[in-house]
Amino acid sequence: MSIRKNPRVLVVTPEVTYLPDGMGNMANYMTAKAGGLADVSAALISALFQQGVDVHVALPDYRKLFNTNRSQVLGRTLGAIRDVMPGDRIHLAEDRAFYYLDNVYSNYSAENARIALAFQREVINNIIPRVKPDLIHCNDWMTGLVPAVSRQAGIPCLFTVHNIHSTRLSLAQIEDRGIDAAYFWQHLYYHQMAYEYEETRSTNPVDFLLSGVFAAHFVNTVSPSFLHEVAQGRHGFVEPPLERELANKVAAGCAVGILNAPDPSFDPEKDGALARPFGPKDHVAGKRANKKALQASTGLAIDDRAALFFWPHRLESIQKGCQLLADILYRMVHTYWDRGLQLVFVANGEYQPIFRNIVHFHGFADRVAICSFDENLARLAYGAADFVLMPSRFEPCGLPQMIGCCYGALPVAHDTGGIHDTVAALDVDAHRGNGFLFNVYDSNGLFWAVSQAMGFHERPAAVRAREVRRIMKESAAAFNHSVTARRYIDLYETMLDRPLVVPPPESGLQGEYTIK
């Protein structure tokens, strides 16, 4: 049997942190990030590229963002930019809608809808015909129309749900932006049942996220548990149609959960933001040095024996559980005052002034530091912290709990979604687990988990060092993009029913070949 052509995969994403050097000299400064989707897209594309997949990427041409990043990169790494391969794997959607943006998303929903339509118009009309992909991988609502085009064209399509946000527009609005929706309208998901095109065109809005789920051949969420929680109707904030469509995909065997993984730069042995890089073997000295550095830079009392908790994500009340921590902040600090408990926030959001007021009122400034988000400070906090707080109401995946474990900062978290898939209750005697979980979503549950963490911190130093060393090693092996990319490659191969990688000529292998 002759070797089959290496199937071509087109990844369509509105965000990316970076692209592999080998994808052209533009790749070094293509940063357009609003959240975790950017990191996941970047790492997946890089991992697929490194494993030999014929991967292409479609991305809006954020000219202002890219030019700013280009200047920064060239000033920092002049002469280091490589061009190992032609850059024709990077396909930029051209439109003035995103040429001058300072951020990936606008604060206005109508503007975001306009950006999404401009991006998808270029993907549908120009990029897909030019690339001629064998498989298309779309990400989130801003790509939600593409799976319908893919289904109409007979191209297998994977749709990844990173977040549950969406938007609705009529077919008339979609067509006004240059997309011929009449070609694929029957594969879209409408607010009400659609029977005839003309009747539907102006009065029956299309839901972008649901259209992506409905039309795609396969769907995945970014953790297995979150997929089943939504499909089983366990989250009241998820609209019933999304629950129903995901449940249908699960029942049909066309939905899976694939965990994200932290960006490879989150490596405590190589992280340049740390005062002292460290690994599992020397983590005690490394974390002590980083703790002192963080305390000095944030105004916390200098005490390398303090139990340091770190809040790593945005300060909002809908998902992240800020209100739970606000309810117990005084109790938490007061209860463990004599044992030196400290807490550092490196995050923005609506709850930041609330926490500032609590700290100011009680005079906790040397025990609780509230800092706006800064990438280097956040990395230093991972290296310094003993524990990472994640009292999320829901969590599609979550990366801080994984990063924390890699840096020896154990998660204190609500047992939900991706946290459930990555954190197990620590059992010191059995040398199992990696964190402290609470099941009942309320402030008492969070305080109980904090108490469990403090109990671990009061264990003999040798016991703590042994467990943290084990957790760091296990986390580095489990939470990486080689593992994640392998899962996606397996799914691509299932969808294509053919291998994604052909053997090199010198291998002597013939016929179909799949990396295992």
Q: What is the pLDDT of residues 10-69, one digit of tens each?
A: 999 886 444 344 434 334 433 444 445 556 677 778 778 877 888 898 988 887 766 654
User: Whole-angstrom distance between the N-terminal and C-terminal Cα of the chain?
Assistant: 20
Q: What's the pLDDT at 318?
A: 86
- Where the chain has pLDDT below 50, the residues are 1-4, 16-35, 69-86, 501-504, 506-516
Ramachandran bin of 165, using left for φ above 0, alpha for ψ from -120 to 50, beta for the remaining angles: beta
d(CA 213, CA 141): 9
Tally of CB atoms within 10 A around 483: 14
**Distance (Å, whole) CA 86 – CA 245:** 40
Q: Answer yes or no: are the C-beta atoms of 148 and 187 closer than 8 Å.
A: yes
> Is residue 322 within 8 Å of residue 347, measured between CB atoms?
no
pLDDT on residue 330: 97
For 341-400, strand residue ranges (E) read: 342-346, 368-371, 387-390
Q: What is the pLDDT of residues 347-394, one digit of tens each?
A: 999 999 999 999 999 999 999 999 999 999 999 999 999 999 999 999
Q: Give the pLDDT confidence score for residue 32 in this predicted structure.
A: 40
Q: Is the dihedral of CA 326, 428, 338, 379 positive or negative?
A: negative
- DSSP per-residue string spanning 49-92: HHTT-EEEEEEE--HHHHHHHHHHHHHHHTT-----S-STTEEE
Going by C-alpha positions, the residue among 271, 304, 325, 265 that lies closest to residue 42 is: 265
Residue 312's CB is within 10 A of a number of other CB atoms, namely: 23
Between strands 168-169 and 206-207, the pairing is antiparallel
pLDDT value, residue 341 = 98
Q: Which amino acid is at 78?
A: L
pTM: 0.82
Q: What is the CA radius of gyration of the chain?
A: 24
Identify the pLDDT of residue 36.
53
Q: Which residue has the tokens 């298309």?
A: 136
Q: Which of 181, 258, 179 is nearest to 215 (CA)?
A: 181
Q: CB atoms < 10 A from the CB of 286, how many?
A: 23
Q: The tokens 């995103």 sit on which residue?
A: 98
Backbone angles phi, psi at 348, to 5 degrees: -105, 170
